[in-house]
Every structure is written in structure tokens, then in C-alpha cells.
Amino acid sequence: MVKTAILGFGVVGSGVAEVLSGSGNGVSRRPDSLIEVKYILDVRKFPDSPFAPLFVDDFSTIESDPEISVVVETIGGMGAALDFTERALKAGKSVVTSNKELVATHGRRLLDLAAEHGVVYLFEASVGGGIPILRPLSECMAANDILEICGILNGTCNYIFTRMVQDGVTFQEALKGAQANGYAEQDPTADVEGYDTCRKLCILSSIAFGWHMLPEQIPTRGITEITQADEAYAAASGCRIKLLGRAVMGQDGKVTAYVEPHFVPMDNPLASVDDVFNAILLKGDATGDVMFYGKGAGKLPTASAVCADVIAAARKLERAGYRPWQANRPECVGSLDDLSSRWYVRLAHGALADAQRLIYGRVDAAERTYITNQSMTRPQMEALLADLPVLAAIRVLD
């Protein structure tokens, strides 16, 4: 049993408590869930929380408890977060965080401090929320030189652009909508001015290129000047506007990193990343382009990334191997005959009821094609079509 302490009971910290305790999702079914939350540190009181007995208000309780081997820092910022992280590492405890500002600014020194004390400092959740990106970049692409990083790293900006395009609203209107939906802070400066993207790009660049890129080395432009007319022209030219964090390795070995809005052609996979989704495109010299896509923020996605790091820190001894898998379980194999879908059906002639007819000019007029209105299993579909001249029947993905 590995015992942890969570510093800061805000959105992410409370999500971590839920996931680790199994109350937020099914994590308790996992064989890895031998992790117990022993303390939660917060200046506020949460008497009604199921975790109320765990609250402490003095960090030294955690620092001096030899049972605590992993500390989760979800305070944010560079004040207490930095102080507690340093003290935890010096006390021989691994630290896991989602604090991009701290890692972007002090990451190198904190990594050194962790190594000196034989522990680890992990921060998968600091970039891309729940998208696995830092570990794949660090480990799976270890045989590549990274030539370029190009990412949509801030969900707030991307949500604003998506609303401007899809709903035809202004930047200010889209920003207000983002705030109303909880996708933007009341002070949105860090998001819309690109600072958040800049910090994440620092972390990606430092791992990709092997030396600490600092925020002040990344020229940063935000999105506040983008108008509806610009969006319309982007569409007219087959592009979408996206705020990109980009770092390019030059022939001279120098890395140029910057944050700027871009026109992105629709044939680039980044162009169709909408709403609060993030995506990061990495160009490796051997593997070419690989892209990682998912929700870049949110309580449970971010908490799940933090928890994966806690698990990684906890099971250091087996960490090069995959999570072990057990023997086959025939009793757990579901029957495909029970899986329902809508179906595409092409008939040589005749008609299908309760289905949407598809029209396509070039095909023989006797043929009829449909997508069924109802979901059904393959046996149900085959029974339905038993007396019809079926040319094709293909499952429709929901």
C-alpha cells in the first residue's frame, strides 16, 4: 500500500481524491489501486466532504510522515507550490503535479532535486490534460530526433474559435459564452494572451530537445485581435484559424519556439480539432508525424493523468514493463450478435421501411440504398432483410 498526500483541494485535487479512492470512477477495479490518500492539505475547510477526516493544515505533518511516499501538488502557481514541492523532494517523497507554470519555470531544478534524493518528479497532467503526451514523447519516441512540435494546447482559445466559426459570434461574445460554460476563467488573460500555451510549449520543448526552454524565450501572441472577418476569410481559403504553440528545430540545431494564431489548411489534422479539444503533432525524424488528441482540461481527465503518474511513481520496481495481463477469460468475451448498430443496406431492388433512403446519381436506378433508423444486432438485421435482394450491409459507427 502506497500512501499519498494531496496538496490543494480545488478542481484537480478533489478529482484526484475521487479517482484514487475509486469514488469518481471504476479505478477500484484496477490491480494498481493499492494507493491510499492519507492527507489532504488545504487552508479551506470542507466539513461535508467524504474526505473531511483527511484534512490537515500544516505541511510539516506530511513532510515528517515517513509513510507518505508520493505527494500530489495541485495548488498551482509558484508560491506555496514551489516551497512544498522542494520540501517534499528533499524529504525523499516523489512529487506529481499538474502545475504547468511551476514546471515551465523551475522544472529543471526540481527534476535535479528529485534525482538527488532518489525520487521522481512527474507532471503528465501539466500538458494536454488527460492526453498522454509527455511519457510517449519521452519514452516511445526516444529513438527519434524531434524536428517539430505543433500543438493546439489551450482549450479555451480553441472553444472561442469554434464558436466564432460555427455560431458566427464575435470574439467577445464567444469569450462570454466560454466563461458562462466554465471553459474560461473570469480573468481569461493567461488563456487568450497565449501565456498558458507558452508554458505548455516550454515543457514539451524541454523534453523533446533535452534542455530547458524558458517562457521568456518564446515570443507569444494571443487571439484577442482575431475578427469574424478573419474567420470568414480563413474558411474561404480552405483553412481554420488556430492558436498554435510551435517549436521548430533548425538546420543549425537551434530551436525556434513561439505562440501565434495561424491559418491551418483543412488537410492538416490540426484544422479539424474543435471545441475544448487539444491536439499535439510531433514530427520525429524516423517516425514522421504522430498526433495525440483529446480533452485538454477538465476535472476528471486532468485528475486521471495525475493519478497515472502517482501509480507510475508507486510502482517504480516494474516500470519498464507493461501492466501485466492475466490469462484469457472466455466468460468475459461478449457476443458480437448482441451488439446493436444502425446499418447501411444496399438492395438490388425493392424498398426498406423505417430507413433513410440515400440518393446518389450514378448508380443503377433499380438499386435502393438506406441507412436504418433503428439500431439492431446483425441477426436482427439479417432477419429483417431475409426476403430482400441484399447487395451490401455495413455497420454504421455511432
Q: What is the DSSP string of 136-186?
A: IIIIITTTS-EEEEEEE--HHHHHHHHHHHHH---HHHHHHHHHHTTSS-S
CA distances from 37 to 31, 43, 64, 87, 232 (A): 17, 18, 16, 19, 51
Of 1-9, 79-87, 152-160, 293-301, the window that binds a copy of itself (rule: CB under 8 A) is 293-301
Give the one residue of 2, 111, 113, 184 binding a copy of itself; rule: CB under 8 A.
Answer: 111
Q: Which of 93, 100, 200, 299 is labelled catalytic?
A: 200
**Smallest distance from the beta carbon of 274 to a copy of itself, in angstroms?**
9
By CB under 8 A, residue 74 contacts a copy of itself: no
**Burial classification of residue 304, based on how many CB atoms lie within 10 Å of its CB (0-12 exposed, 13-18 middle, 19 or more buried):** buried
By CB under 8 A, residue 193 contacts a copy of itself: no
By CB under 8 A, residue 71 contacts a copy of itself: no
**Burial classification of residue 317, based on how many CB atoms lie within 10 Å of its CB (0-12 exposed, 13-18 middle, 19 or more buried):** exposed
By CB under 8 A, residue 46 contacts a copy of itself: no
- Residues numbered 199 to 238 that lie near a copy of itself (CB under 8 A) are 206-207, 209-214, 217, 219, 225-227, 229-230, 232-237
- Residues numbered 115 to 144 that lie near a copy of itself (CB under 8 A) are 115, 120-122, 124, 129-132, 134-144
Q: Do 71 and 62 form a contact (C-beta atoms < 8 A)? A: yes
Cα(398)–Cα(391) distance, rounded to whole angstroms? 22
Give the one residue of 43, 333, 353, 386 binding a copy of itself; rule: CB under 8 A.
Answer: 333
**Smallest distance from the beta carbon of 173 to a copy of itself, in angstroms?**
17
CA torsion, ordered 32, 33, 35, 36, to nearest 10 deg: -170
**Smallest distance from the beta carbon of 164 to a copy of itself, in angstroms?**
14
**Nearest to residue 131, comparing CAs of 282, 304, 268?**
304
By CB under 8 A, residue 73 contacts a copy of itself: no
Q: What backbone phi and psi angles, to 5 degrees, belong to 311?
A: -60, -45
> Which of 76, 301 has the CB closer to a copy of itself?
301
**Smallest distance from the beta carbon of 267 to a copy of itself, in angstroms?**
9
The CA R_g of the chain, rounded to the nearest whole Å, is: 25
**Nearest to residue 8, comparing CAs of 288, 303, 240, 265?**
303
**103 Rama sector, left if φ>0, alpha if ψ -120 to 50, beta otherwise:** alpha
Give the one residue of 197, 262, 355, 372 binding a copy of itself; rule: CB under 8 A.
Answer: 262
By CB under 8 A, residue 198 contacts a copy of itself: no
**Smallest distance from the beta carbon of 177 to a copy of itself, in angstroms?**
20
By CB under 8 A, residue 380 contacts a copy of itself: no
Catalytic residue flag (residue 200): yes
> Which of 60, 287 has the CB closer to a copy of itself?
287
By CB under 8 A, residue 84 contacts a copy of itself: no
